[in-house]
Amino acid sequence: MARYLLRRTAFLLGSLLLAAALLFVLLRLLPGDPANALLSVGATPEQFAAARRQIGSDLPLPEQFGSWLAGLASLDLGTSFVSRLPVGPEIAERLAVTVPLTLLSFALAVVVALPVGFLAAWRSDRWYGPLLNGVSQLGIAVPVFWIGMLLVTVFALRLRVLPAGGFPREDWAEPLRALTSLVLPVVTIALVMSASLIRYVRSATLDVLGSDYLRTARALGSSFGGAMWRHGLRNAAVPVISILGIELATTFLGAVVVESVFTLPGLGTMLVEGIAEHDYPVIQGVLVVSTFAVLVIGFAADLVQRLVDPRLRAHVGGGRP
Amino acid sequence: MTSKFAGVVAALALALAACGSGPGDAPAGGSSATPDAGATIEIGSLYEPQNLDNTAGGGQGITEAFNGNVYEGLFKLTDDGKVEPLLAESQEVSGDGLTYTFRLRKGVKFHSGKALTSADVKNSIAKVTADDSQSARKSSLEVIKSVETPDDATVVVKLSGRSISLVYNLSYVWIVNTAAKDPATSEDGTGPYKLGTWKRGSTLSLERFPGYWGTPPANNGVVYHYFTDATALNNALLTGAVDIVTSQQSPDALTQFTGNPDYKISDGHSTTKLLLAFNDRKAPFDKPLVRKAVSSAIDDAKLLESVWAGHGSLIGSMVPPTDPWYEDLTKVNPYDVELAKKQLAEAGYAKGFRFTLDTPNYDPHPTAATFIKSELAKVGITVDVNVITADEWYTKVYKNRDFAATLQEHVNDRDVVWYGDPDFYWGYDNKQVTGWVKQAEQAKTAEEQTELLKQVNRQIAEDAASDWLYLYPQIVVASSKLSGYPINGLNSQFYAYGIKKG
């Protein structure tokens, strides 16, 4: 296990470095210069050159990359070209919105999807089995911003029970207010996420229900619930966990649409603003942090899978029959 | 590009239209109930500042939040485009027009507590004209030869040539404390408000400055809430999360507020013009007749109706009604398809021609491009619409002049003078116009200046230097509990100190 952990960590750091290099190069392939974002009509070539000097976009690329990497190593993500504010603290501030948003949505989606998915499989012969299946299909097809706007119309504009958007200026100083402003965004993401999760849970459960070992356990006298609990759940969990990892990572990055609909100052909106302004330090900072988060989530999903499934442990640990 | 142009911010200080202007006035307001001086005003806006420095690319947003609120100039612009003294108490101009002596107002303090001195003024002007300045005012202040400070309360500005716009231009120069640290991320001005907190991507708050020299604000502070999405902004207004929207950009959304007694819609004047800018250097648009034909072939009224549904107005040339040298020139190149065909034939393009229209990818440019394409098809001209990003526009059109024609919004007031610069991106080169613009700047009286710029405006219309499609509306939607807010003019300036709630 120790060797596995070591290898996995090395892999994580390697991927991160590769991602950082790719990011840096790809960004610079985009047409346009960040200095443009700072200037207005009437700007002279001298003003343009001065702007480039000021933000350092006139330096040779290897030099720019080197100083950025050096900063990264000391956990300094640099300073925004545009706002002149350090990128790191701003990302931290945005994470205070995006992380709770992602985790709460994820938790809600799991809580909804597991029983519903299971029910849709177990009772696929009843009328509500196909119905649940159909509803989840619909959920996948509907765009997330539309669900967001619908919820806003109903709960914020009509019923006036929840805010239409925004996040308290004091962040989490008043936790209840902060939570209130996250309710609609969380429900929006959770609805969309659980729609696809339901389908995975359903098919994983169907596999298990049709499996030989479950039939055998039943033949040996286990009750359906007992067999399901002892054998079914564990087996069904393996594919679902890896899907959960992917879903969590996707939500973390994909929250941008929801953040925009609900005007939440999260990581996604920061990225979009950074791209619009050619603000390389901001784009790089957000992407490095989110790449790191995604890799860590993948790592965690792997670990959990190994804990659940002894076969994986045996295989990767090597040698033991 | 919106923010880029807006960043130029030659904004008329069209503020507090209904209630007079200036911290010296006590806005009368229209409300009958007692206003709540302890109330915080929640302002919704689509223009978040890029940073807090208007000489370092702060953009339209920082002008909206800080001009007159946090920073003040020697002068300020009033609603009707007049210049009024603010931090300057008086001014004297020498007979040759080359020396301006300003006496500073007494008892003015910066937010840090330091008293305002002439050295701060000198430094603030130097900041705008510095080599690394990204201020749009830089070139217009280059006429300043030296700034002298004979004593703490006197500033002497010497010019290399006459400049009748000097005082107007100085109204855009923020007076910043010389000792201020990083103006891009903090502030030290003399305005009625100081910066509270700025949460990037979300809000910027202004708090009352207790040591303000003038009349204190009518409210206890303001919070600008920034939105990227007009629908979300309107939802915030509908649910009471914000009290006022600085500039309504979605005409469709207006119906939600029309006829609702809880809201008041104000339809003011803007100075933002939508231009079909030709490259006047290159065929076929080097021929005035071709440009006139194109201008006459497009039904501007129909375009305005389809984009703004009854709001906004038509202009026949570059000058908007709020500039002192405005006149109605909509008849110079009227909408007349037959005339357009005749002019095209006369210019040698009886069978029409084909050109590429570089179109910024954000509203309303793509809509306008599609409309123009169909209009010009009727006179045999084929338009290839090329949609580009703001950044590409800046490089391709503005810097490299590699275009046939383009669409662009120009937000500045008093920006007709660009037609006097043959090196500007549209390349309009008329020696007479260049001369007039120069003479106007060196004019001895405002009347003389006005007369010359009227001539300029007429001439560029005669030559159809560009096609001025329409003037944007300026729509402010506010809760009817609010009074004393700026309704006219540009979204770029938004004097908040007169706003009362209740």
Q: What phi, psi does B109 have (nearest 5°)?
A: -120, 145
Assess whether pLDDT exceeds 70 at residue B27.
Answer: no
Q: Is A53 in the B-facing interface, judged by CB distances under 8 Å? A: yes
Assess whether pLDDT exceeds 80 at residue B18.
Answer: no
Assess whether pLDDT exceeds 70 at residue A18.
Answer: yes
Q: What is the pLDDT of residue B432?
A: 95
Query: In angstroms, rounded to a whole number, what is the distance separating the alpha carbons of residues B169 and B186?
Result: 24
Closest to B383 measured CA to CA, from B361, B404, B354: B354
Shortest distance, CA B480 to any CA of chain A (angstroms): 18
Alpha helix locations (H) across chain A?
2-29, 34-38, 45-55, 61-73, 87-122, 128-141, 144-151, 175-209, 212-219, 224-227, 233-261, 267-276, 280-308, 310-317
- The whole-model pTM stands at 0.82
Residue B340 and residue B294 in contact, taking contact as beta carbons nearer than 8 Å: yes
The chain-wide mean pLDDT, for chain A, equals 83
What is B358-396 written as a DSSP string?
EEESSTTHHHHHHHHHHHHHTTT-EEEEEEE-HHHIIII
Query: In angstroms, rounded to a whole number, what is the distance separating the alpha carbons of residues B345 and B351?
Result: 8
Closest to B58 measured CA to CA, from B141, B182, B177: B182
**Edge-to-edge order in the sheet of strand B263-278:** B193-199, B203-208, B221-226, B40-45, B244-245, B467-479, B263-278, B405-410, B354-360, B382-388
Q: What is the pLDDT of residue A37?
A: 66
Assess whether pLDDT exceeds 80 at residue B460.
Answer: yes
Run of H or E including B274: strand B263-278
Query: In angstroms, rounded to a whole number, what is the distance separating the alpha carbons of residues A124 and A128?
Result: 8
Query: In angstroms, rounded to a whole number, what is the distance separating the alpha carbons of residues B154 and B160?
Result: 20
Q: What phi, psi does A129 have (nearest 5°)?
A: -60, -60
List pLDDT tens digits, range B304-352.
Answer: 998 888 889 999 999 998 888 999 999 999 999 999 999 999 999 999 9
Greatest pairwise CA separation for chain A in angstroms:
86
List pLDDT tens digits, range B423-443.
Answer: 999 999 999 999 999 999 999
The mean pLDDT value for A142-166 works out to 88
Residue A36 and residue B395 in contact, taking contact as beta carbons nearer than 8 Å: yes
Assess whether pLDDT exceeds 90 at residue B6.
Answer: no
CB atoms within 10 A of CB A46: 12
The confidence band for B21, taking pLDDT boundaries of 50, 70 and 90, is very low
Q: Is B406 helix (H, G, I), strand (E, B) or coil?
A: strand
Q: Is B200 in the A-facing interface, judged by CB distances under 8 Å? A: yes
More confident residue, B105 or A230: B105
| Chain A residues in contact with B197 (beta carbon < 8 A) | 169
| Chain A residues in contact with B419 (beta carbon < 8 A) | none
- For the record, the structure tokens of B126 come out as 């130097």
Closest to B425 measured CA to CA, from B407, B408, B400, B460: B400
Q: What is the pLDDT of residue A232?
A: 79
List pLDDT tens digits, range B165-176.
Answer: 899 999 889 999
The confidence band for B80, taking pLDDT boundaries of 50, 70 and 90, is low
Query: Which of A47, A263, A267 best probes binding to B when mutated, by most B CB atoms within 10 angstroms?
Result: A263
The confidence band for A321, taking pLDDT boundaries of 50, 70 and 90, is very low
List C-alpha distances in Å: B134 to A41, A50, A51, B86, B131.
10, 8, 7, 24, 9
Q: Is B239 in the A-facing interface, judged by CB distances under 8 Å? A: yes
| Chain B residues in contact with A266 (beta carbon < 8 A) | 201
The chain-wide mean pLDDT, for chain B, equals 87
| Chain B residues in contact with A36 (beta carbon < 8 A) | 4, 391, 394-395
Residue B16 and residue B469 in contact, taking contact as beta carbons nearer than 8 Å: no
Q: What is the pLDDT of residue A161?
A: 87
Q: Is A160 in the B-facing interface, judged by CB distances under 8 Å? A: yes
B179-186: Cβ within 8 A, 24+ apart: B179/B112, B179/B114, B180/B110, B180/B112, B182/A84, B183/B52, B183/B53, B183/B55, B183/B56, B184/A83, B184/A84, B184/B51, B184/B52, B184/B53, B184/B56, B184/B58, B185/A83, B185/A84, B185/A85, B185/B51, B185/B52, B186/B52
Q: Is A83 in the B-facing interface, judged by CB distances under 8 Å? A: yes
Q: Return all residues near B141 (Cβ < 8 A) that are at least 6 apart.
A: B125, B128, B129, B169, B173
List pLDDT tens digits, range A67-115.
Answer: 888 888 888 888 888 888 899 999 999 999 999 999 999 999 999 988 8
Assess whether pLDDT exceeds 80 at residue B298.
Answer: yes
CB-based contact B241 A260, cutoff 8 Å: no
Q: What is the pLDDT of residue B447?
A: 92
Q: Where are the beta strands (DSSP E) in B54-153?
A: 75-77, 83-85, 88-93, 99-104, 144-151
CB-based contact A47 B57, cutoff 8 Å: no
Q: What is the pLDDT of residue A72?
A: 84
Assess whether pLDDT exceeds 60 at residue B2.
Answer: no
Run of H or E including B432: helix B431-441
Query: In angstroms, rounded to a whole number, what is the distance separating the alpha carbons of residues A212 and A268?
Result: 46
Residue of A nearest to B203 (CA): A169
The mean pLDDT value for B474-497 works out to 83
